Amino acid sequence: MKLLHNYLIVFLFLGGVLLLKPTYLIADQKSDLENKIQEYETKLNQLKSEKDTLSSQIEYMKTQEYITTLQIEETGEKIVKAEKEIKVLGTRISSLDSSLDQLSKSLIERITASYKNRKASLVDIIIDSTNASMLTNRLKYYQIARAQNQKALMQVMGAKTNFEEQKDLRERKIEELDALKLSLDVQQDSLIAQQAAKANLLSITKNDEYTYQQLLSQAKAEYSAIKNIVSGAGTESLLRSISKGDTIATVIQGQSCNSSGTHLHFIVKEGSSEVDPFSKLKSVDSSNDSNGDAFNPSGSWDWPLSPTIQLHQGYGNTWFVRTYGWYGFHNGIDISGSSSSVYSVADGQLYSGSYAGFNGCTLSYVRVTHKESNISTYYLHVYAQ
């Protein structure tokens, strides 16, 4: 009976181990913070259509700051939760490792003992009829013990699997924690940049509606002109055939009616669609003053400007797009280099172009149609050479 008692203890322990499931694996309902973030993101989307005045623009930027503050708080809570989960998993893994080693050793000893005394044969029962009853009970006992050994072995194997799964889960949680910490750094930097952008807008406009409307008109003029140029509405003339690396233009210095300062707006169009220029350009010495837009070149092209390349605005849903909301998507990258000379990134045909758009503002550019390719590259805010 003592042996059966021990088996019962083993079964209860291992059964409990196998049933252990981290409570945090159960999907949580949306937290109050998540609901609040969603609420203010809805408000932000509503404000996008109302930013025709300085006051509505400031309200938009304040709302965005508040959302970022909530996101920082939410990420902080996730970090604390992840740290607690990692600690719990570490304690559980350590306990399982020690306990399972002892139980496995004990189980092996029991199986070995059961094998040595595994059963009484039918011959033994017939010859020793006086002890037949005892031998029959002994045979039944060892049959039960063998079945229990098999079950215990399966339990140990299952517990070992659970042990490995929780080790893997802990590793994933550690990776998740590292990602959360990086995300928190980005969110904190973004909040600082958003606050600086709002302060800068108030400084530039001096809280004056007329000055704000001039800035807004400038942004709309540039966005409209760029869209129309890429769609083929610019006035163009063929200049010459060029080779990769040839000087094709010079960056216009200073502000203009459609540019806030000296920079090259570089666009890659493949077929009928603009694509991320970083997917074509190769790694280069660079600096980044775009408030966190990605700078991740992964292609093979040389750059259209001489390094060191300075990124002012990236591609797509950029920081500027999210902060000001004056347009919905940045279809190229804004960069400057160590000189104002602009170089072709490929062999092809060079065109000089311009587009006269909003309030008569003219945007000048050059375009290169790549040789034996469906790719065109656009170089905006430049004078052709």
pLDDT bracket for residue 134 (50, 70, 90): low
How many domains does the chain divide into?
2
DSSP secondary structure, 46-109, as one string: HHHTTTTSHHHHHHHHHHHHHHHHHHHHHHHHHHHHHHHHHHHHHHHHHHHHHHHHHHHHHHHH
55-69 pLDDT, tens digit per residue, is 888 998 999 999 999
pLDDT bracket for residue 23 (50, 70, 90): very low
Q: Domain for residue 46, yes or no?
A: yes
Same domain, 194 and 238: no
Range in 113-117, 156-160, 208-212, 251-255 with the lowest mean pLDDT: 113-117
More confident residue, 259 or 235: 235
pLDDT bracket for residue 110 (50, 70, 90): low
CATH for 51: 1.10.287
Q: Domain for residue 340, yes or no?
A: yes
Q: What is the pLDDT of residue 185?
A: 93
Same domain, 152 and 294: no
Same domain, 252 and 307: yes
Q: What is the pLDDT of residue 114?
A: 58
Q: What is the pLDDT of residue 116?
A: 55
pLDDT reading at 132 higher than 90 = no
Q: Domain for residue 212, yes or no?
A: no
266-290 pLDDT, tens digit per residue, is 999 999 999 999 999 999 999 998 8
Domain region containing 338: 218-384
Same domain, 178 and 322: no
pLDDT reading at 51 higher than 80 = no
